[in-house]
Amino acid sequence: MGTKVILAYSGGLDTSVAIPWLMENYNAEVITLTIDLGGGKGLGDDTRERAIQAGATKALVIDAKDAFVQHFVFPALQAGSIYQGQYPLATALGRPLIARYLVEVARTEGAATVAHGCTGKGNDQVRFDLGVTNLEPEFHIIAPAREWGMTRDEEIDYAKQHNIPLSLSSNKTYSTDENLWGRSIEAGDLEDPWLEPPEAAFSWTNSIEKTPDQPLYLEISFEEGIPVAINHQRMNGISLIEQISSFAGEHGIGRIDHLEDRLVGIKSRELYEAPAATVLHISHRALESAVLDRNQLRFKDSVSQEYADLVYNGLWYTKF
């Protein structure tokens, strides 16, 4: 076997195809690394088996929900970090943490090459590349989907030839990403900004027709800007976010329709579902309006935007 490569693995089509592709094109020994940031179906044995079946020599899964909440989500909440006034940055906040685990696992496994499944069109490639490079400038980074030039149909053929089991999501219409803080939905017919967001794009939030007729009251307690309890019941950050997400989602809160300026220079229409982030940002803001004066609030607004841009642009581990 040749180069040892640690591949950030979601279990989806791109990263599954990347396993045999790295073996064929880089003579690589592939170790997959799946980081569970919550919000999804739960990543466990299934993901591990898919990776091994596709040719990985080892498949690691790390539950990083707590680290994500403590070191990324809550600091971003305190910072009021919302990109272009709309996007609470769920995907963008998750990338630097995945990059950190890629570097750590590579060091433990004695590898100097990492790989990710991003294409050349989005922000995520930049976040992974910068995250890894800032933590470990000597590492080599491979992005198979940026190199291989296959269409989605060609990828599916490639997967079939290499005995990769196709999941339902292989013929999905949108590109999605999920974690505790929110769900991102993009591509396909959404690229037409005139198109009203199709109901099929959403899965965490109810449409208005389906929301309960009775309103729901939630009282959220904060300590030093961190939410700690719902209706006086204390709980850890993960449960608090999950509970708010499901209550608010049921009431149709947290749908976002954004024409976004990507860091790679294109405007892109994006949808998000972020019920917990929406409720928590609004409550945190309400708290600030009670304890900060107008000059402090104005200053906070300007640094919030700065912070959001740094997160969006993948600069988490840089000095500024």
**Which residue bears the tokens 């995520």?**
124
- Is the CB of 182 or the CB of 237 nearer to ligand ARG? 182
Does 175 sit near ligand ARG (CB under 6 A)? yes
Q: Of 95, 100, 127, 183, which one is the catalytic site residue?
A: 95
- How many degrees, rounded to 5, is the angle at CA 317 between CA 311 and CA 320? 75
Residues 6 or more apart whose CB falls under 8 angstroms from that of 143 comprise 115, 116, 117, 118, 119, 120, 125, 128, 129
Site track for ligand ARG across 184-203, x = CB under 6 A: x-x-----------------
Answer positive or negative: Cα dihedral of 287, 291, 293, 296. negative
Residues 6 or more apart whose CB falls under 8 angstroms from that of 88 comprise 76, 81, 82, 181, 182, 256, 272, 274, 277, 278, 281
Q: Which stretch binds ligand ARG (CB under 6 A): 34-42, 120-128, 224-232, 285-293?
A: 120-128
Distance CA 316, CA 129 (A): 12
Does 16 sit near ligand ARG (CB under 6 A)? no
Q: Of 16, 50, 100, 124, which one is the catalytic site residue?
A: 124
Does 129 sit near ligand ARG (CB under 6 A)? no
Q: Name the minimum Å distance from CB 293 to ligand ARG.
A: 33
Distance of CA 282 to the CA centre of its chain: 21
Answer positive or negative: Cα dihedral of 68, 283, 302, 252. positive
Q: Of 170, 175, 262, 285, which one is the catalytic site residue?
A: 175
- Is the CB of residue 205 less than 8 Å from the CB of residue 254? yes
Q: Name the minimum Å distance from CB 281 to ligand ARG.
A: 16
**What are the helix (H) ranges across the chain?**
13-26, 45-54, 65-68, 74-78, 90-109, 124-135, 144-147, 152-161, 237-250, 275-291, 294-312
Q: Of 10, 14, 36, 183, which one is the catalytic site residue?
A: 14
Q: Name the minimum Å distance from CB 138 to ligand ARG.
A: 27
45 in active site: no
Does 123 sit near ligand ARG (CB under 6 A)? yes
10 in active site: no
Does 92 sit near ligand ARG (CB under 6 A)? yes
Q: Which stretch binds ligand ARG (CB under 6 A): 51-59, 66-74, 117-125, 192-200?
A: 117-125
Strand partners, 61: 34
Q: Which stretch binds ligand ARG (CB under 6 A): 19-27, 130-138, 170-178, 243-251?
A: 170-178
- Is the CB of 150 or the CB of 235 nearer to ligand ARG? 150
The sheet carrying 233-234 orders its strands as: 220-223, 226-230, 233-234
Site for ligand ARG in 244-283 (CB under 6 A): 260, 270
- Is the CB of 123 or the CB of 245 nearer to ligand ARG? 123
Answer positive or negative: Cα dihedral of 304, 307, 312, 313. positive
Does 81 sit near ligand ARG (CB under 6 A)? no
- Is the CB of 106 or the CB of 256 nearer to ligand ARG? 256
Pairing of strands 182-186, 175-179: antiparallel
Active-site residue set: 14, 95, 124, 175
By CB under 6 A, name the binding residues for ligand ARG: 91-92, 122-124, 175-177, 184, 186, 260, 270
